[in-house]
Amino acid sequence: MLAVTILGNNSALPMHERHPTAQVVTDGERLFLVDCGEGTQIQMIRYKIRRSRIGHIFISHLHGDHYYGLIGLLNSYNLTGRTEPIHLYAPPPLQAILDLQMAAAESRLCYPLVFHALGEDGILFEDTRITVRCFRVRHSIPCWGFLFREQPRPRKVRPEAASAAGVPSSFFPQLKAGEDFIDAQGRRIANEQLTAAPPVPKAYAYCADTSFHEPIAESVRGSDLIYHEATYLDDQWEKAHARHHSTALQAARIARLAGAGRLILGHFSNKYEALDDFREEAATEFPDVEVCREGVTYLVG
C-alpha cells in the first residue's frame, strides 16, 4: 500500500509551526525520502519515522528549504553505525557540496552513499514492486518532480477453482501471468475463471516547486494522488509567476488536466497563517483536494 507522510509543508522560512519541505513515501516496510529541508531528522523523531528504513533519497532542487537537512541526516546515519547503502538522487552540484562538508569535518561515511545525478526525464529506480521516475518541472533553477508507481502485480490464483479444474500447482506461475489452462481433455479454461484480478497499481506524483506548467499534467497522467505546490492564492498569480511558483487554482488545474484521483497542496508562503482558503480555491477547479498537514499520512488511491 503506497502512502505519503508529510514532514514539512511550508515554503522557504520555517514559520507558523510549519517546516520546510520533506515527505516520506512508504511502500510497506520501505521508506523513500523526498526532499529534506532543515530539521527533517527532528520531524522524523516527532512523527516516529523509522529513518533506518530509508534507502533512497530524492532531492528535487537545490534551494535550501528542500535540502539543508540532508547533510545532518547523512551524518546521523554515520553516528548510528549504518551499514546499508543510501542511494541519493539529486541535482549534480549537490555532490561537491557534500564532499566539501565531509572534508571540512575530516569525516568519512561508514556506509556507501551512491550519488545518482538527475538529468533527463526517465526511470531512476525500479524493482519488482515499484518504479520511480523523474520529470522536469519549471522553476528558477533546475528542478525535478518524482513519480512513484507500483508495478503491476500478478493475478491471484483462486485455489478452489484451480483445484476443481485439476490445475497442477506447477502451472500456477503461468496462471498468475494470465495464461489460460488447457486440461487433460484438451478443454481451455479461461484464466479469469481460475484467478482474481490483482489490485490496480497506484501512483503518487510529487510535483516539487514549479510555476504553472501544463506538461507536468502529461508527466503525471492518471496518478491516484498528486502533490502540487501552492505557494500563493490566485489573487497573487503574478507574484507566483515572477517567483516561479504556483497558486492553489493552478495546482488544481494541473490535477484536473492530469486526470488525477486526488490532490494535496503544500509549500505555503509565510504570508498565510490560515490555510483554509487554499482548499476552497482549489476545490472550485478540482473537488477532491486537501491542504497537506504535517504529520499526516495520505494513502495513495
183 is catalytic: no
Task: Decide if residue 41 touches its own copies (CB under 8 A).
Answer: yes
Closest CA to 136 of 21, 53, 219: 219
Residue 166 is placed in which grid cell? 485439476
A 10 A CB-CB count for 238 gives 10
How far apart are alpha carbons 218 and 257 in whole angstroms? 8
Q: In the block, which residue shows the cell 533527463?
A: 120
The residue from 76, 169, 174, 284 that contacts its own copies (CB under 8 A) is 76
Amino acid 200 reads: V
CB closer to its own copies out of 37 and 145: 37
Residues 6+ apart with CB under 8 A from 238: none
3-state secondary structure of 144: strand
Part of the chain binding its own copies (CB under 8 A), chosen from 35-43, 201-209, 223-231, 288-296: 35-43
How far apart are alpha carbons 16 and 279 in whole angstroms? 18
Part of the chain binding its own copies (CB under 8 A), chosen from 105-113, 123-131, 175-183, 213-221: 105-113
Task: Decide if residue 136 touches its own copies (CB under 8 A).
Answer: no
Task: Decide if residue 52 touches its own copies (CB under 8 A).
Answer: no
Given a contact cutoff of 8 angstroms between Cβ atoms, the answer to whether 146 and 132 are in contact is yes
Q: Cβ of residue 39: shortest distance to its own copies, in angstroms?
A: 5
Part of the chain binding its own copies (CB under 8 A), chosen from 81-89, 94-102, 162-170, 254-262: 94-102
Task: Decide if residue 150 touches its own copies (CB under 8 A).
Answer: no
Number of residues that bind its own copies (CB under 8 A): 36
Backbone angles phi, psi at 128, to 5 degrees: -70, -20
Instruction: Point out the catalytic residue in the list 35, 65, 224, 234.
Output: 65
CB closer to its own copies out of 71 and 165: 71
Task: Decide if residue 294 touches its own copies (CB under 8 A).
Answer: no
How far apart are alpha carbons 130 and 29 in whole angstroms? 13
Q: Which residues are catalytic?
A: 65
List residues near its own copies by CB under 8 A.
12-15, 19, 38-39, 41-42, 45, 62-65, 68-69, 71-72, 75-76, 79-80, 91, 93-94, 96-97, 100-101, 103-107, 140-141
